[in-house]
């Protein structure tokens, strides 16, 4: 009799494990918890990897140069340049900057300096580079209490962060 109950409980447990294993970063990341950043503090010039530049203006407009896609979009290799808008929002999990590219003016491609010998050939069916795009940048403070903007890229299970730091 106990064996039957044990088996009956094992199936729902297995199903739950399979579902949560594919839940992405939300399964273990709920935000930075930061709630004290102001729009004035977020305004300004930000820089990131490989020449990325983002300017957030007080009027809510933005200019960005060579900004990679977030999450799995990063793996496509495109880097967008153009103009758009931004807004600082606050939720229970912490603050975020919603950065929207409204007008794309250029596209760059990120390519590895030395491709891995077993790297697959480029996929001709890969999605086109978007003409508009929206990033959700989490907001945190570094150990010196300076604001940083960041998002996750690549496989969510890896937890890789793409960080933008204030310039100047």
Q: Which of 2, 53, 9 is nearest to 165 (CA)?
A: 53
Report DSSP state, residue 143: T
The residue that leads in pLDDT, 66 or 113, is 66
Which pLDDT score, from 0 to 100, does residue 107 have? 96
pLDDT grade, residue 121 (50/70/90)? low
Q: Which tokens sit at 92?
A: 């229970």
Is residue 108 over pLDDT 70?
Answer: yes
Average pLDDT of span 108-118: 65
Q: Residues with Cβ < 8 Å from 116, sequence gap 6 or more?
A: none
Boundaries of every domain in the chain:
43-111+129-168
Is residue 80 over pLDDT 50?
Answer: yes
Which pLDDT score, from 0 to 100, does residue 41 have? 96
Q: Which tokens sit at 77?
A: 């290799």
> Yes or no: is domain 43-111+129-168 CATH 2.40.128?
yes
Is residue 93 over pLDDT 50?
Answer: yes
Average pLDDT of span 2-15: 50
- DSSP strand E in the chain: where? 44-47, 53-56, 61-68, 78-91, 94-109, 133-141, 147-152, 161-166
Q: Is residue 5 within a helix (H) or strand (E), and if so which, with residue range? A: helix 2-21
């Amino acid at each position: 009799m106990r064996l039957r109950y044990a088996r009956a409980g094992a199936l729902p447990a297995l199903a739950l494990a399979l579902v949560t294993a594919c839940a992405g970063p939300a399964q273990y990341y709920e935000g930075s918890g930061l709630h004290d950043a102001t729009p004035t503090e977020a305004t300004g010039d930000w820089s990131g990897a490989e020449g990325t530049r983002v300017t957030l203006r007080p009027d809510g407009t933005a200019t960005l140069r060579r900004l990679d896609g977030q999450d799995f979009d990063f793996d496509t290799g495109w880097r967008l340049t153009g103009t758009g808008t931004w807004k600082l929002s606050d939720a229970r999990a912490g603050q975020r900057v919603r950065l929207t590219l409204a007008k794309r003016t250029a596209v760059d491609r990120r390519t590895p300096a030395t491709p891995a010998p077993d790297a697959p050939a480029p996929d001709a069916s890969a999605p086109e580079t978007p003409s508009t795009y929206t990033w959700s940048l989490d907001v945190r403070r570094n150990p010196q209490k300076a604001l940083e903007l960041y998002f996750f890229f690549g496989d969510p299970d890896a937890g890789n962060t793409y960080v933008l730091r204030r310039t100047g």
